[in-house]
């Protein structure tokens, strides 16, 4: 695991966007796993700007989103399909046929979960998976006690997650209670992972996810097992990290990060 500490949320988001752009330029056929949430909004804004100003090309890539609510149609403003359309897809030249989500309205949800896994395999697996970090330490909707080898499935949402997502629905009573999510095991099969977390409210859970013991109670701790996982945080989210000085030294001295050090916002 690599931990990169940036001065603020804008710098952290900018670095993640540049990492995604670098991978996409190196492989136009990139299979890109996407996440939603407020933390990702700035990343997508920056990718849209790169598309418009630098010609960043999405035309050949394929995307798979981490999750989708059960019971919401794609046109519902709270659905993740709607979110991705509004924040990224309709502003770049991605082919809508190449953007994939689990269907939370499928008549057989278990079969839909299996079909989503099969579709990911059919495209050769995910090359780069973006991740946010929930307050309960979840990635996707892998709530506490999610098995570390779990696959795409339906999960009941915790009260913490419902409260966190309430602003998108106008109150906690309107948030769906279940969602389809990629499993922890599914996520760990991606060739590269990038997790973005910002803000002081994430400091405790970032420290547990990065430096704490691996536990099913905090699904993000499983990322410690991945051979190529990059965690990007701002100073506020890094406040509880014990190894922060070492993480800063790595970013400032390792040659692979030189191109990204030279373009700080």
| CATH number of the structural domain spanning residue 56 | 3.40.50.1360
Give pLDDT tens digits for 147-196.
999 999 999 999 989 998 899 899 999 999 999 999 999 999 999 999 99
Q: CA Rg, the chain, in Å?
A: 17
- Rounded CA gap, 183 and 149, in Å? 7
Domain range enclosing 69? 2-260
The burial class, CB within 10 Å (0-12 / 13-18 / 19+), for 248 is: middle
Q: Does the pLDDT of residue 262 top 90, yes or no?
A: no
Interacting residues of 57 by C-beta distance below 8 A, sequence separation 6+: 24, 28, 51, 93
Q: Does the pLDDT of residue 264 top 60, yes or no?
A: no
Residue 230 lies in a domain: yes
DSSP state of 218: B
- Rounded CA gap, 194 and 47, in Å? 15
Give pLDDT tens digits for 88-111.
999 999 999 999 999 999 999 999
Span 227-242, average pLDDT: 98
Task: Indicate if the alpha-carbon torsion angle 27, 180, 41, 263 is positive or negative.
Answer: negative
Residue 265 lies in a domain: no
Q: Does the pLDDT of residue 209 top 70, yes or no?
A: yes
Report the domain count for the chain. 1
């Amino acid at each position: 695991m690599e931990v990169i500490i940036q001065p603020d949320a804008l710098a952290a988001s900018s670095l993640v966007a540049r990492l995604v752009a670098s991978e996409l330029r190196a492989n136009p056929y990139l299979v890109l796993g996407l996440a939603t949430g407020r933390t990702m909004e700035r990343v997508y804004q920056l990718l849209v700007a790169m598309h418009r100003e630098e010609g960043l090309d999405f035309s050949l890539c394929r995307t798979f989103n981490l999750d989708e609510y059960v019971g919401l149609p794609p046109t519902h403003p709270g659905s993740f399909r709607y979110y991705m359309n509004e924040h990224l897809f309709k502003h770049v030249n991605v082919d809508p046929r190449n953007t994939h989500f689990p269907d939370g309205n499928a008549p057989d949800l278990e079969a839909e979960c299996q079909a989503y896994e099969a579709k990911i395999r059919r495209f050769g697996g995910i090359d780069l998976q973006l991740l946010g970090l929930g307050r309960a330490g979840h990635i996707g909707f892998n709530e506490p006690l999610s098995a570390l080898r779990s696959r795409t499935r339906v999960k009941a949402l915790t009260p913490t997650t419902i409260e966190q997502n309430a602003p998108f629905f106008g109150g906690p009573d309107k948030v769906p209670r279940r969602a389809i999510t990629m499993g922890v095991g599914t996520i760990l099969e991606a060739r590269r992972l990038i997790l973005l977390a910002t803000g002081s409210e994430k400091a405790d859970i970032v420290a547990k996810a990065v430096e704490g013991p691996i536990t099913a109670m905090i699904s993000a701790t499983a990322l410690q097992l991945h051979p190529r996982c990059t965690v990007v945080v701002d100073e506020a989210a890094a406040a509880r990290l014990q190894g922060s000085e070492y993480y800063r030294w790595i970013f400032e001295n390792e040659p692979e990060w030189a191109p990204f050090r030279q373009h700080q916002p």
